[in-house]
Structure formats: structure tokens, C-alpha cells
Amino acid sequence: MPKILIIDDEKPIRNTLKEILEYEKFQIDEAADGAAGLEMVKNGKYDVVLCDIKMPKMDGMEVLDNIMKLSDEPAVIMISGHGTIDVAVDALKKGAFDYIAKPLDLNRLLITIRNALDRTELVKETKVLKKKLSKSKTSEIIGDSEAIHKVLEMIAKVAPTDARVLVTGGNGSGKELIARQIHEKSNRADAPLIEVNCAAIPSELIESELFGHEKGAFTSAIKQRIGKFEQAIGGTLFLDEIGDMSLSAQAKVLRALQENKITRVGGEKEISVDVRIIAATNKDLKKEIEAGNFREDLYHRLSVILIQNPSLNDRKEDIPLLAEYFVKAICEEYGTATKSIAKDAMKELQKINWTGNIREFRNVMERLIILCGPTITATDVVNFAQPLSK
């Protein structure tokens, strides 16, 4: 149920608004002056604030200024019987959602409140999406081990070139982070990095996904679609889990790499594509070639530069750095105080066989943060991490 705060020094107006808005299924709180209203906003979660302008102790414009400084500010609708156009404009400039003059038009007020609620919901969704995006798109590679230093040195050498790169390594080891760092340090950094998970797309759809299709190319092709190759023009195309790509799609990718041209499914026109390719796989492609599952000529096209991403088990000396990094990041994500990790707990983390690599490690750290006290102990690790990793 949406929560609304009414800040007005006139009790009859507060009572009338409360009665009407509660009938409309809103949860209503009241404040008789600006100072009290501001404290309620700071200590509570409101979706909308209705705020009078002329009030004792603190006027509405000052309340508005202070609300706008809050990180999770509600939508503020200013109401006044003494206002002018200049006051209304000033309120909107300061961040008010809208300004309504008294006597209030109740129909307009209800419409304005519902519009404000839609705006508040959009803001919340945007913040969640931004948080997810920043969480999923980080390109920071954490570690100080020799294995990681070799990877970082290779990235520094390869990134400024347009050479194709094949990244190998186990599931969850962070192959996509290497691809992102190469792109970010390249001359194509201002252009898009387009990612394709070849294992997640059905074989019958992979060609349409990569090359696009023309309207009517097949039953469900109701309009033209631009494929990932075209979307990545001028930038980088990251083909993740390329070892799972069908042989027919491999043949078309090979042609695209040879000629720097593609043809949409159902189309005849050749389209030039200036795209850098970075591919990744958790499979042994040489064995896949012997088994007839992967084209040898495509392998040689992709593997101009080979980067082997080490497993977490091969760089356990990085676990303390990774643990501190994830504790800080996850606590910030949850909005909780940062937790500490006892030395014996760190040793227990280093004993675990991390078959799921960094992905598994992060999940375990998140579990420990949720279930443990201010300090993560060795007993916590034994109870909540090891049994789940065996």
C-alpha cells in the first residue's frame, strides 16, 4: 500500500485529505509543521509527500530543499493558498514533482499523486537496474598471484591491437572479465562491447542472434532484426562459450571473420562489419576438433592470442584479497556494516576445493555475510561453506 505524508499546519485540511486518500487505499501519516514533517521523512519511507508552503517553524520550501538532499527522496507535491506563479516555478526548480494551489481540485490531486507514484516506482526500478548492472558489469580483476599477473600482462600487450583473442578457463573463473578489460583498454573502448552467450541460445536461433534476419525469413520473423555482429560494428563482439556453437553457425562465423562481411538470415545483401572478436570457452577445443564438434579452421582464426584464465584452486593465495573485496561489495549492496574475517576463517576458505571458481566463491561469501555475525569465523566457514562445496 503506497504511503503518503501530509505536512500542513491546518488540521481541517489534513483531516479532509486523510479521509479522501484513505478511501483511495493509501496509508496516511500527518505532520502539523515543517520541522516535524521533515523528521518523519528522514525516519520513514514515504512514496509521496504533500507539503504546504506557509507553515510555522519551517516553511515548505525549506522542507523541500532538505528532502531533495536525501538519497531516497519521495516525490513532493507542494500545496498552497498563498502562492504565485513565481513560487510554483521556484518549487519545481527545487525538485518538487508538482505544485497545486488551494482550494484543492481533488480530481487533479489524485491524478497527480498517481503520476508521482508511477515516477517513484520508475526511480526505484532504475536504481535496482543500475545496481544490477554495476554488479554484473564490473571488469576489475582481483588478485596478486603470479598467475593473475601473467593474465594482466597479456591483457596490457593485446588490448591496443585488433588481434582476435581466445580465452579459456573453467566455468565461473571470470573469462568475461578478461574480455571486458581487453575492450576497455583498446582503441575501441568508446564503441560497444556486445556479449553473446552461445550456450544459452538454441542452435536454431544462434544464426539469427548473430547475423540478424529479414522480415519473413521464417514464421516468427515479423520484422527485421539487427544481429550482434552489426550491433558491435566499430567495437568488440564477445562470443562466450563458443565451444557450444553449432557447426552450421561456426561456418558462418568463419566466413564473417574471413571476409568481414555478413548476410542476414533470409537476406541477400552483404553487410560489412568492422568488429573485433574475443571468444571464450570452458572446453578443450582441440579435443572438440578431434571429436568433430568444432571446426579446426575456425579455431585457428579465433586463437591468434590464447589466454588461459587460471582456476581459483590454482591461485588460492588470492583468496584473502578476493574475500575482502567481496565482503565490502556485498555489504554495500545490502546496505549493512562491513564485516571482518578472522584469520582462521581465511585459512579455512583456502582449504576448500573451489570447483565453481570465483562464482562459487562469491556465492559462499554472500551466504556467510547473511548468516554470520560481525566477524566471520572458521566455524562459520566450516558450517556454511565447506559442506556445500563438496
Measured from the Cβ of residue 299, the count of other Cβ atoms closer than 10 Å reads 20
Secondary structure of residue 134 in the 3-state scheme:
helix
**pLDDT bracket for residue 180 (50, 70, 90):** very high
**161 contacts 272 by C-beta, under 8 angstroms:** no
**19 contacts 46 by C-beta, under 8 angstroms:** no
What is the pLDDT at residue 220?
Answer: 76
- The model's pLDDT over 96-124, given as tens digits with 9 standing for 90+, comes to 999 998 888 889 999 999 999 988 787 77
What is the pLDDT at residue 80?
Answer: 86
The topology under which CATH files domain 3-134 is Rossmann fold (3.40.50)
Omega within 30 of 0 (cis) for the link into 374: no
Q: Map out the domains of the chain as residue ranges.
A: 3-134, 146-310, 313-389
What is the pLDDT at residue 131?
Answer: 54
Residues 6+ apart with CB under 8 A from 248: 203, 207
- Selection from 222, 301, 212 nearest residue 262 by Cα: 212
- The model's pLDDT over 21-53, given as tens digits with 9 standing for 90+, comes to 999 999 999 999 999 999 999 988 899 999 999
**pLDDT bracket for residue 284 (50, 70, 90):** very high
- The model's pLDDT over 52-92, given as tens digits with 9 standing for 90+, comes to 998 988 999 999 999 998 867 889 999 988 767 888 888 99
Tell me, what DSSP letter sits at residue 87? H
**280 contacts 238 by C-beta, under 8 angstroms:** yes
What is the pLDDT at residue 182?
Answer: 97
Average pLDDT over residues 270-294: 96
Domains 3-134 and 146-310 share a fold: yes
Is the pLDDT reported for residue 368 higher than 90? yes
Is the pLDDT reported for residue 365 higher than 90? yes
SS3 content of the chain, % helix, strand, coil (to 5): 50, 15, 35
What is the pLDDT at residue 57?
Answer: 87
Is the pLDDT reported for residue 347 higher than 90? yes
The yes or no reply on domain 313-389 and CATH 3.40.1280.10 is: no
Secondary structure of residue 50 in the 3-state scheme:
strand
Average pLDDT over residues 342-364: 95
What is the pLDDT at residue 70?
Answer: 85
Is the pLDDT reported for residue 389 higher than 60? no
What is the pLDDT at residue 154?
Answer: 97
Average pLDDT, whole number, for the chain? 90
CATH number attached to the domain at 146-310: 3.40.50.300
Q: First vs last Cα of the chain: how many Å apart?
A: 44
What is the pLDDT at residue 129?
Answer: 63
- The model's pLDDT over 291-340, given as tens digits with 9 standing for 90+, comes to 999 999 999 999 999 999 999 999 999 999 999 999 999 998 888 899 99
- The pTM is what? 0.65
- The model's pLDDT over 232-253, given as tens digits with 9 standing for 90+, comes to 999 999 999 999 999 989 999 9
